[in-house]
A and B are shown apart, each in its own frame.
With several copies, the nearest count.
Chain A
Amino acid sequence: MKKVINDPADVVTESLRGFAAAHADRVRVQYEPDVVVRADAPVAGKVAIISGGGSGHEPLHAGFVGPGMLDAAVPGAVFTSPTPDAVQAAVTATTSDAGALLIVKNYTGDVLNFETAAELAAAEGLDVRSVVIDDDVAVADSTFTAGRRGVGGTVLLEKLTGAAAARGDSLDAVEALARKVIGQVRSIGVALTAPTVPHVGEPSFSLADDEIEFGIGIHGEPGRERIKIEPANALVERMLNAVVEDLPFAEGDRVLLFTNSMGGTPPVELYLAHGIAERLLADRGIAVERRLVGPYITSLEMQGISLTLLKLDDELTELWDAPVDTAALRWRA
């Protein structure tokens, strides 16, 4: 393993120190438990939007803390969901009478730890709700699995609920919006290489030179299916079909297309894939009205991409366009 790190056990905290120094104008970092908070938190009268999860998916979540998006991010150890006391610290630092919404990606660990935190907060008399995002179509959604994973849709959900909270929506309204978004966002990912978790020191899985993992998650869990590498045209079509046919998205739909790098895939490939996805959606009569392209929810240095489609309407489009001012996502601010 070659990484720019010192002791693997200190990676997250040391990284947060650099993040705090780089973005002191936007965030404040608390340590032990580690929490990244909006510099001006708590914002009186505003619903707090809080998310978190294992580290290693940056810029998710810390890079999205700031006006128009998250009030706090709770980074766990690499690929390990944070503990309830850390979530609790984020709630305490950001939550006013307006309450808070916890955005939880659907992983057993995240759900259990955030659930516990929500119980603790309720015991303190705060109105804290949580929603679980599970947009990954690669996983069979059945009572016989842990359910679908939360992946790319999380980024969009954080932006949209952040915008709703910023314009003064109530917790009821923000929660309802979150459930609506979760209902109409779908994703799929693919990995060309494996990430290496610092304390493990070796790649999470191994792939032959001509193999890729189709339906990969964001934690180095092996994907659902191992397939041969294929040209981008075929690969993107395979990915898009999985997403489009799941909801399903249909001719005439207006969508946001989010083409995400898993970290190690460079922009030249990412934009190439994005271009193909745009063309294929146009062929299906689905109108791409908004797009996001970049490494926004990653898996350390893993090479791969994910595609996320969100069905848009006027309300979601307006919330998407609303100002956002964070380390990683910024417009009209």
Chain B
Amino acid sequence: MSCTANGVAAALRAAAKVVAEHRAELVELDRAIGDGDHGENLNRGFAAIVASLDAAVPDTPGAVLKLAATTLISKVGGAAGPLYGTAFLRASTAVGNASELDAAAVVAGLRAALEGVQARGKAVEGDKTMVDALLPAVAAAEKGTDVASVLQAAAEAAARGAESTVDLVARKGRASYLGERSAGHLDPGARSTSLLLGAFAEAAR
């Protein structure tokens, strides 16, 4: 895949497919330590992204990411809506209006996404949130050499990061109300971050 507007659009479609496939799993994870809507909400948002892309794919990778951002912000709701929305919005700004992204641009986009999530949600590593997947993903991505290896490294690190949330006690989001009882469960947002990056990496291969 080349990282053009169409390439990013294809990656988003792949992500939408993965989210749809894992909708029930994400609901289940959120039901255990939250309110059970994470899968439903993300699925609604990504389905809306696909519908928009079906109508028209914007000109640049940045514009595609911005479309994803505004769609997520206006369709997802909950905590994940503004957080993922901000992530895509910041990534969009970071990559500017280049017509194709190189490895460095993708890394910059990922880093901007992480900063956006942290700026909005104030979560740090170890709070048992999507940050625990995204933060190691960004660190790993910096070691990649091309777009595919950047995203592959990010996805692998995100998967490990998500797994690491099982043992954590939540300190942000709805799961934090559970206190100690939140330990022993995978964080749904960390899991969805890992799924999204996995889908992007797969699409980039």
Please report the C-alpha to C-alpha distance between residue A83 and residue B82 in the assembled complex, in whole angstroms.
Answer: 8
Report the Cα distance A145→B175, complex, angstroms: 9
Is B77 in contact with A76, judged by CB distance below 8 angstroms? yes
Complex alpha-carbon distance, A33 and B81, angstroms: 15
Q: Which residues of B contact A219 (CB under 8 A)?
A: 35, 174
Chain A residues within 8 Å of B44, by CB: 9, 77
CB of A286 within 8 Å of the partner chain: no
Bound CA span A144–B177, Å = 10
**Chain B residue nearest to A200 in the complex (CB):** B36
Quick check: is A242 within 8 A (CB to CB) of the other chain? no
Contact B177 A217, beta carbon cutoff 8 Å? yes
Q: A77-B41, A84-B74, A199-B27 are in contact. Are A146 and B35 (CB under 8 A)?
A: no
CA of A146 to CA of B172 in the docked complex: distance in angstroms? 5
Q: Is B177 in contact with A139, judged by CB distance below 8 angstroms?
A: yes
Give residues 142-168 of A contacting B (CB, 8 Å).
144-146, 149
Contacts of A79 in B (CB 8 A): 35-37
Asked if residues A80 and B174 are in contact (CB atoms below 8 Å), the reply is no
A-B pairs with beta carbons under 8 A, tally? 116
Interface membership of B79, Cβ < 8 A:
yes
A20 CB → nearest B CB, Å: 21
Cβ-neighbour of B81 out of A109, A115, A149 (below 8 A)? A109
The answer on a CB contact under 8 Å between B178 and A222 is yes
Which residue of the partner chain B has the closest CB to A218?
B35
Interface of A is mostly: loop
Chain B contributes a number of interface residues (CB within 8 A of A) equal to: 32
A113 at the interface (CB under 8 A from B): yes
A30 located at the interface, meaning its Cβ lies under 8 Å from any Cβ of chain B in the complex: no
**Is B173 among interface residues, defined by CB-CB distance under 8 A?**
yes
Q: Knowing A197-B35, A199-B40, say if A146 contacts B177 (CB, 8 Å).
A: yes
Which residue in chain A gives the minimum CB-CB distance to B72? A83
| Interface set, chain A 89-138, CB cutoff 8 A to B | 107-109, 112-113, 115-116, 138
Q: Is A221 an interface residue (CB 8 A)?
A: yes
> Nearest chain B CB to A256's CB is how many angstroms away?
25
Q: Mark B79-90, 1 if CB is under 8 A from A, else 0.
A: 111110000000
- Cα-based distance from A80 to B40 in the complex (angstroms): 10
| Given A77-B40, A197-B36, A199-B27; A108-B179 close (CB under 8 Å) | no
A32 to B183: give the CA distance in the assembly, Å: 38
Residues 25 to 55 of chain B near chain A (Cβ within 8 Å):
27, 31, 33-37, 40-41, 44
Whether the pair B77, A77 counts as a contact (CB closer than 8 A) is yes
B41 touches A200 (CB 8 A): no
Cα-based distance from A221 to B36 in the complex (angstroms): 8
| Cross-chain contact B177 with A224 (CB below 8 angstroms) | yes
Residues of B within 8 A of A217 (CB): 177
A-B contact pairs, 22 of them (CB 8 A): A33-B74, A54-B78, A77-B41, A78-B37, A81-B79, A83-B75, A84-B73, A85-B74, A107-B174, A109-B77, A109-B78, A109-B81, A112-B79, A113-B82, A197-B36, A197-B37, A204-B31, A219-B35, A221-B174, A222-B178, A222-B181, A224-B177
Interface residues of A (CB under 8 A from B): 9, 33, 54, 76-85, 107-109, 112-113, 115-116, 138-140, 144-146, 149, 197, 199-200, 202, 204-205, 217, 219-222, 224
Q: In the complex, given contacts A139-B176, A220-B31, what are 20 additional A-B residue pairs having Cβ atoms less than 8 angstroms apart?
A: A78-B37, A79-B35, A80-B41, A80-B78, A83-B77, A84-B74, A112-B79, A115-B82, A116-B73, A139-B177, A145-B171, A145-B177, A146-B174, A146-B176, A149-B177, A199-B40, A202-B31, A221-B177, A222-B178, A224-B178
Contact residues of B with A, CB < 8 Å?
27, 31, 33-37, 40-41, 44, 73-83, 120-121, 171-174, 176-179, 181
